[in-house]
Amino acid sequence: MLCIYHESTDPYFNVATDEYILKHLEEDCFMLWRNDNAIIVGKYQNTLSEINYDYVKANNIAVVRRISGGGAVYHDLGNLNFSFTKTGKNSSLTDFEKFTRPIVEVIRSLGGDARFEGKNDLMIDGKKIAGNAAHIHKNKILHHGCLLFSSEMRNVSEALRINPVKYIDKAHKSVPKRVTNISEHIKVQMNVSDFAKSIMDYVLANFPGSKLYKFTEQDKAAIQKLRDEKYATHEWNYGKSPDYNFKKAIRTVGGLLEMNLEVKKGVIQQVKIFGDFFSENGIEDVENALININHEESAIREALKKFDMNRHFSNISVDDLIESIF
């Protein structure tokens, strides 16, 4: 088994790396990695309904869709991520407890009472320290998880705090659980790098044939291409969301503004705006201008640039409209 610890903290590159080791490296792999601030959403989720858009925007948090199912998770540099790829012949590949056992053993060796509970969670004292997800490609599985070691918990809660009444869809919804950092429950003082070394040392010692591996320049170039052409695109991260209806009302200087959208594959299909504002030229042209536009801020701002907004919405700005759309 190839054991990889790579230094990139670019969320788009790192999520692409998971797909690369699954589909392009023949040997089984174990990999440790960290992301800078990011929300990683499950393959079948409605991205915008999983994130606190204003907080994500203000804090420059990357949003990336992964190829496995499950719920959305927040990553920062206090979070350690692990990935296994393994070739097999049947559905026993999706044994979440088996793949998390090395993590549990390491935490227990450090004095933390870690346990695998439920469908796919690692817990300490009734609080979640890790979630796991899996994706099967042909006869091979990618199993990956995120370990909360010393994450900033306020960011975790704020980034994933959304208003569920804004979205009507059939997407898989994340289920909030009480979470905690591993560092608060172990008896050995260490940082996240020390913790990563403990896990890697355990895997190298307990999995026969394991050896360290560094990505070649050819590997890195292929991952970068996958990053740029798939994982850093609006089409993948937002356009793959299930169809949904969006509704939001805000108070502005000009009055109440209520936005209603129907969105398919990340593209706005229908728009209806209500409110008690005044309008000199009517609002139909603005509504029509948003049709066939990505439900994405820069695209919407570009579509609205041609309007003298005060003639259509008295005392309501473009920024007000943007606020009502997310």
- The tens digit of pLDDT for each residue in 263-320 reads 998 999 999 999 999 999 999 999 999 999 999 999 999 999 999 999 999 999 999 9
Angle at 189 between CA 185 and CA 178, to 5 degrees: 25
Assigned CATH for 244-325 = 3.30.390.50
* pLDDT at 216 (0 to 100): 96
CATH for 2-237? 3.30.930.10
16-65 per-position pLDDT tens digit: 999 999 999 999 999 999 999 999 999 988 898 889 998 999 999 999 99
pLDDT value, residue 177: 63
Q: What is the pLDDT of residue 224?
A: 98
Q: Residue 176 pLDDT > 60, yes or no?
A: no
pLDDT digits (tens, 9 = 90+) for 141-170: 999 999 999 998 888 888 887 666 666 766
Between residues 92 and 236, the one the model is more confident about: 236
Nearest to 182 by CA among 99, 117, 118, 122: 122
List the domain boundaries for the chain.
Answer: 2-237, 244-325
In whole angstroms, give the CA distance from residue 281 to residue 50.
36
pLDDT at 192: 96
Tell me the mean pLDDT in the region 110-122: 87
User: Is the model more confident about 157 or about 92?
Assistant: 157
- pTM here? 0.84
Contact (Cβ atoms closer than 8 angstroms) between residue 51 and residue 72:
yes
136 CB burial (10 A radius; 0-12, 13-18, 19+): middle
Under 8 Å between Cβ of 122 and 145:
yes
